[in-house]
Amino acid sequence: MIANINSDSVRPSPLRVVQWISGGAMQGRRIVEASSTPVYRPQAISMVAMGSTSMPPHATRGNGFEYLVVDYDTHEKKARYTDENGNRTDYIPVGATTGESTDIIGIDRSGSNGTVLERVYNPSGLYAEYITETPKQCCLRTSVSPAEAAAAGASATPSYASGPCGSQVYVSATEPDENWVFLNWSGAASGSNLVTNGTMNGRIPNCSIATANFEPESESSGVKTANPASPDGVYPQDPIAYRLDLSWKNPVEDAIIQITDPYPWPRVEYSGGLQWGPYINCQHNATNHRVACSGNFPASAEGVSTYVSFDTAATCDIYTTENSNGPVRNTAAIQIDGFNFGPSANTEVKAPFLLKASTPKFIPQANFSRGHTVLLYTVPKPEDKPGCCTNCDLDVYVVVDGDTANPRKMTDDASGLNNRANADFFANDCHHSLWFEPTDNKTYQLDLYVVKRGDDFEPYYLADTLTLKPTTRPEVAVYTDLRELFKEFHEITPNSPSNDANGNCVRDYYEAVEAMYNYADRHDGVVLDVRQDAYSADHDYYANIATRRKMGQEIDTNITANLQGFKLSLFDIAVIGDDAVVPYYRVQVPTGAFSETGYLRNNADANPTVLDTQSTADGANKGYLMSDLPYATYETDLPNHPTPNISIGRIFYDTPQKLIDAFTAYESPIDVRAARSRASAICLDNEWELNAAGTALVPHILWDDIFERAIRPVLQNRYGAGLQRTVPYTGPVAFQNGRAYLYRGAITPWNAVTSTRRAAQNTHIMLFYSHANQFVWTSEARRLLNGGSTDPRVQGSRDIDRRELANVGLRIAMSTGCHSGYNTAYRQNNVNHRLYRNNIVRAMLDEHVAYYAPTVYGYGNNTTTSHHDKLIREFLKGVFRRYYDTIGDAYYIALRKYTSMGGGWADLDKYAIYGMHLYGLPTQPLRQHATLAELRSASTSSSVRRPTAPTAVAAFSETIAVSNFAVAFDAEGRAVFDIPQQGGRTGEPFGPVLPAVVRTYALPSDTAGVTVTLVASQTHAYPGSIEMQTVEPINFTFGPVSGAFDQTGLYPTSVLTYRLISDVSGPLIEVTAIPL
């Protein structure tokens, strides 16, 4: 079979390698050649010592991308570097080629701190190593002079330091308790400061010397101190209480003491707390608001000391003075015999507020045309006393970039609860709020000012300053609705957002907002408010299904689609909130899938999520499925071949404090190494039913067969001999790392308590293969009991519910059961809110389990791994795969692998893909052997030959050779064909199962007008006639789905199909061939 792939481009172009450099460290590469056209696929390999060329790696660059190019037309090798802020160098010639066989890894080029040597150890270019020459190293030592000073306790540090020649290091001198004082530095350091810089110029081992010189104390003119013991500022209605301690030591000379101390005014109540020690006398002048002291220190070899202490009270009026536009800074001026000290005590009144933002960085409008709206809010300063911020009536303003002529007033009146133009959600709680929309691509300085309530903006008082920077490479986007999050917290657990659980004067809600900020900051991400940044109006979620559908569509269109400018850096989306906070996208159930309209029929209880699932509005004859997947694709319309560009996960909780705890828990790595982990699975026995004639049993749902085919090999490959396939229903006495425990209904009647609960409490990874709904899974014991079994082991058994998920050790769980990943908004008519509180998802999130499950009816196949089983299999493989280091990577690769095996276009495929959900934070690390640098390098690399810019129509041909087919027959004599080592299976529901071969090819970044045509094919006839196995979809609630195969047209409709895929390295074309 030969296919021509045509595009508007000319010929194979320069070889191009893009590699991510993390911390300047160079990653090794392995080059693999495939087929007749060299295809370069870089993979990270360990550094290998090769003779005298082996040197330790050294960071020569910051984080960024390096582009290496071999141009076969000009016989040039070029390199360009782009840092993480978008700054880039020009292409720099770094060598010449010797023809088209030249490998790009043979480039020699210079870095800023040394030469990067790149060597090819195999003539065919299969292996290469990057080695970086370390810059020349120098060292520095410190010494003390004279030796008598060192003997008395004088010291200098560090004793030894090394680094690049010419670099500097801090050196510090320490005076002994008495008799010696520091004079100056000499040698590799200079100056008279105790701490200064020393320069490393001596090549190892001949270090440069920095000498700390000391002199006897008697030679000093005097040793003096004036250190206030008060805090640096006070709050309104706090007492001003400080102390100045002064000393003098000189065996020959005395010293005159003069202290002038003005304190803040007007209307400051003097409490009479002025005190002083010996050698001085102090007076208070109430008219001039001044304390003045004078006196005389006598000459003393042992040293003499005194003090001044002052107490008064600050009021709200202390913020301004009668003669200035700002507060008086209380600075005591101290003079001791010509030695001046100051400022010595700053008792300036402070405003009790800090300014906070909802996101650590913002997206400039040039990249996000709708504008990134940021919540600004105040919190009391950590040292503020309880109730302090409410003792004074203050107005609070934000000034942008020093523009005091246009201050922006913050509110503390709860006016944002019903009006999205306003930002405050709770009145008079010391948290003032304001929406701010940065418009320019620059760093903003946001100053927080306070004035007495009702006064003009001037005079004002500066309380805090916040800088807000633009982002150029966000890796994570957090989606939430800050207003609805507050309201949902309050509705589920009244008053929880306004509580102060830890008594720090910050409402729990704002601590949750800060936890969200910190999460985004740790991942170089941003927080986006969908109500501000996506919605065209202030939508009411509870209005009707049309509104809720529009909310999802606008999130997809106005946020995710506008983020594709960051597709090289954006890896994950974290959704914070349930359906009422960030609505699921309402996807119409495809025509060929099972109807959702009957799910929870007569039990919707006015819950919006359930009502929409059952709705047939706007032509949704089979209802709507709840999905987050559209938010993870850049397409604005729902694609027929849904493939995520980004990983996405969701969390939500009853209270702000639980959300805060979840951010901590879901940042904890999951150790999935075989020797450090334990897995388990529960699986029902095969189910049979009578045929239509009632004469024989036929398969209903072959649970055990499905599990054995799809999941058991993955666990076997991971745990090897540690796979326990016949675990009794009471489970093992002691669970062990390195083992996987299978509770199979075919072996034992496993139940909810002794089986499921013990497995969930004692293993880290668990799979659920059973009938389910959003509340329970069916246990094998309960299934047998329902069927009339008298086995004493099953008597009194029940289904598995959230009770089995309390206090578990689980970190990852997967389920194929129908609607076991379905969750709703909180509001419903039933006062117990069972739809929200009793569901499995809620229980998994409460235990901080990363949970992968369907929001729809589960689908599979008794003879072929398909639909949800295929997704779970690929997800589990992703969890165990060496080079995937987050749970989001497993989610991403599961969907990518699903569509790359020939699926993704049938209605049931779309139903399964859109209806599969990840709960948890997609950034949660998986502890493997891979490093972040390896993953980033692998995920952003492109080392394929790509055609040049489109100048003409070009074509290239590929041959797909199938040397032989493997044929297998079922019990009824029906055949299925497979292509060993090359492909999977495909087919339409109820049609014959067909083998499929999938190939993926890279295209130029600006490719347009792609067509794939079948040029030629060779066939041979299979001897004899056979009946083929058919695709028989199974609903994991109702069993085999009835339907008929339409034989009126060609089947398959085409033996060659193709589709374009957007990838971080450029467009790809996926070609599927059905050679049967």
Pick from 1061, 681, 700, 1076: nearest CA to 898? 1061
Q: Does residue 792 have a cis bond before it (omega within 30 degrees)?
A: no
CATH number of the domain bearing residue 242: 2.60.40.740
Pick from 433, 424, 421, 423: nearest CA to 378? 433
Asked whether residue 437 falls in the same domain as residue 581, the answer is: no
**pLDDT exceeds 50 at position 416:** yes
The Cα-based distances of 442 to 64, 361, 405, 445, 467 in angstroms read: 20, 11, 21, 10, 10
The predicted-structure confidence for 714-727, as pLDDT tens digits, reads as follows 999 999 999 999 99
**Higher-pLDDT residue of 4, 456:** 456
Asked whether residue 596 falls in the same domain as residue 646, the answer is: yes
| Range scoring the smallest mean pLDDT among 120-124, 437-441, 561-565, 868-872 | 120-124
The predicted-structure confidence for 297-324, as pLDDT tens digits, reads as follows 998 888 888 888 877 665 555 444 444 4
| 1059 within 8 A of 5, measured Cβ to Cβ | no
Kindly state whether residue 969 falls inside one of the protein's structural domains.
yes
Among 311, 341, 371, the domain boundary falls at 341
Asked whether residue 716 falls in the same domain as residue 852, the answer is: yes
**Higher-pLDDT residue of 14, 498:** 498
Asked whether residue 578 falls in the same domain as residue 636, the answer is: yes
CATH number of the domain bearing residue 879: 3.40.50
Q: Phi and psi for 146 in degrees, rounded to 5?
A: -80, 175
The predicted-structure confidence for 366-399, as pLDDT tens digits, reads as follows 888 778 999 999 998 876 655 556 556 788 999 9
Summarize the confidence of residues 404-417 as an average pLDDT: 95
Q: How far apart are CA 925 and CA 417, in angstroms?
A: 36
Tell me what pLDDT residue 339 has.
Answer: 62
Tell me what pLDDT residue 312 has.
Answer: 65
Q: Phi and psi for 377 in degrees, rounded to 5?
A: -150, 160
Asked whether residue 506 falls in the same domain as residue 619, the answer is: yes
The predicted-structure confidence for 753-805, as pLDDT tens digits, reads as follows 989 999 999 999 999 999 999 999 999 999 999 999 999 999 999 999 999 99
The residues near 888 (Cβ < 8 Å, ≥ 6 apart) are: 571, 572, 647, 648, 649, 918, 921, 922, 923, 924
DSSP string, 12-41: B--EEEEEEEBTTBPPPEE----SSS----
Kindly state whether residue 850 falls inside one of the protein's structural domains.
yes
Strands 394-400 and 353-357: unpaired
Asked whether residue 572 falls in the same domain as residue 586, the answer is: yes
Rounded to 10 degrees, the C-alpha dihedral 8/10/11/14 comes to -90
| Range scoring the smallest mean pLDDT among 112-126, 659-673, 793-807, 944-958 | 112-126
Summarize the confidence of residues 96-106 as an average pLDDT: 46
Asked whether residue 117 falls in the same domain as residue 154, the answer is: no
Kindly state whether residue 1 falls inside one of the protein's structural domains.
no
Q: Phi and psi for 365 in degrees, rounded to 5?
A: -65, -25
**pLDDT exceeds 70 at position 115:** no
Mean pLDDT estimate for the chain: 79
Asked whether residue 732 falls in the same domain as residue 865, the answer is: yes
Among 151, 184, 219, the domain boundary falls at 219
Helices 508-522 and 656-665: crossing angle in degrees, nearest 10, is 20
Summarize the confidence of residues 36-59 as an average pLDDT: 29
Kindly state whether residue 1036 falls inside one of the protein's structural domains.
yes
Query: Could you tell me the maximum CA-CA distance found in the chain, to the nearest angstrom?
Result: 122
Looking at the DSSP bridge assignments, the partners of residue 1016 are: 2
Asked whether residue 955 falls in the same domain as residue 903, the answer is: no
To the nearest whole percent, how much of the chain has pLDDT over 70? Answer: 74
**Higher-pLDDT residue of 983, 551:** 551
**pLDDT exceeds 90 at position 166:** no
Asked whether residue 577 falls in the same domain as residue 715, the answer is: no
CATH number of the domain bearing residue 953: 2.60.40.3800
Tell me what pLDDT residue 1060 has.
Answer: 66
DSSP string, 245-267: EEEEEESS--EEEEEEEE---SS
Q: How far apart are CA 527 and CA 160, in angstroms?
A: 46
**pLDDT exceeds 50 at position 198:** yes
Tell me what pLDDT residue 938 has.
Answer: 43
Number of domains present in the structure of the chain = 7
Tell me what pLDDT residue 54 has.
Answer: 27
Three-state SS at 631:
helix
Kindly state whether residue 347 falls inside one of the protein's structural domains.
no
Kindly state whether residue 489 falls inside one of the protein's structural domains.
yes
Tell me what pLDDT residue 905 has.
Answer: 65
Asked whether residue 755 falls in the same domain as residue 694, the answer is: yes
Among 282, 314, 341, the domain boundary falls at 341
| Range scoring the smallest mean pLDDT among 223-227, 479-483, 916-920 | 223-227
| Neighbour-count burial of 114, counting CB atoms closer than 10 A to its CB (0-12 exposed, 13-18 middle, 19+ buried) | middle
Tell me what pLDDT residue 83 has.
Answer: 55
Rounded to 10 degrees, the C-alpha dihedral 407/408/413/414 comes to -170
**pLDDT exceeds 70 at position 407:** yes
**pLDDT exceeds 70 at position 875:** yes
> Whole domain around residue 292: which residue ranges?
234-341
DSSP string, 152-183: TT-EEE-SEEEEETT-EEEEEEE--SSSEEEE
Kindly state whether residue 3 falls inside one of the protein's structural domains.
no
- CA 789 distance to own-chain centroid: 49
Asked whether residue 952 falls in the same domain as residue 1004, the answer is: yes
| Range scoring the smallest mean pLDDT among 471-475, 491-495, 543-547, 1048-1052 | 1048-1052
Summarize the confidence of residues 434-463 as an average pLDDT: 87
CATH number of the domain bearing residue 450: 2.60.40
Kindly state whether residue 225 falls inside one of the protein's structural domains.
no
Task: Tell me the helix, strand and coil percentages in the chain, rounded to 5.
Answer: 20, 35, 50
Q: How far apart are CA 561 and CA 1062, in angstroms?
A: 13
Strands 137-145 and 208-216: parallel
**pLDDT exceeds 90 at position 994:** no
**Higher-pLDDT residue of 246, 499:** 499
